[in-house]
Amino acid sequence: MSLLADKVAVVTGAGRGIGRAVALAYARMGADVACVSRTEENSAKVAAEVEALGRRAWPLAVDVSDTAAVDAAAKEILELAGRVDILVNNAGVTRDNLLMRMSEEEWDTVLNTNLKGAFNFTRALTRPFIKQRSGRIINIASVIGLIGNAGQSNYTAAKAGMVGFTKALAREVGSRNITVNAVAPGFIETDMTSALLKRCVTTCW
């Protein structure tokens, strides 16, 4: 039997990079996957890849910083899938700049997507997890949230916040058989980091 046979996972930021890899890995382990991405095109593409592996998939185009949109998406997933067993909060963006040049929009966009987005989806699914007395919440933080990085005060703050959010929530729901963990990857080559490298080549050196 597959490790995650018939489990249902929700993966945010599933349209590319780490999120896509997680969605496909879960499908290979037997899980059905709700593929959440900002764009319909990316969510549909990954959902099709999940289905090609023999699992059910639901593509959802959602701005994770939009609380009402996330609540509606969570309700739709629960209606379609019947339950959710795993939530992976992976959606993230960068808007790099030195702090003295950083705009309020650059700060808000990163905090709202990377940190508030995790809050929105976690809050929307915590009650169902508590009701079924089981759940797995995995937050994708970053090594940058632990050590900091020049030009990324917004991203660093969001990812450091993700670590604190994980610790607090684990204490809240651990007694209900719900685990909450954070993964802090180092540098991984994705579309997002390739754009970062291009900016550094032209502006950082």
Catalytic residues: 155
Structure-token pair, residue 199: 């900016």
Q: CA–CA separation, 127 vs 162, rounded Å? A: 20
- For residue 47, report the phi and psi dihedrals to the nearest 5 degrees: -60, -40
**Residue 170 Cα to chain centre, angstroms:** 17
Structure-token pair, residue 76: 């739709």
| SS3 label, residue 63 | coil
Closest C-alpha to 15, from 37, 40, 41, 48: 37
Give per-residue burial for 9-34: e unless 16+ CB within 10 Å, then b. Answer: bbbbbbbbbbbbbbbbebbeebbbbb
Structure-token pair, residue 104: 């309020």
* 130 within 8 A of 176, measured Cβ to Cβ: yes
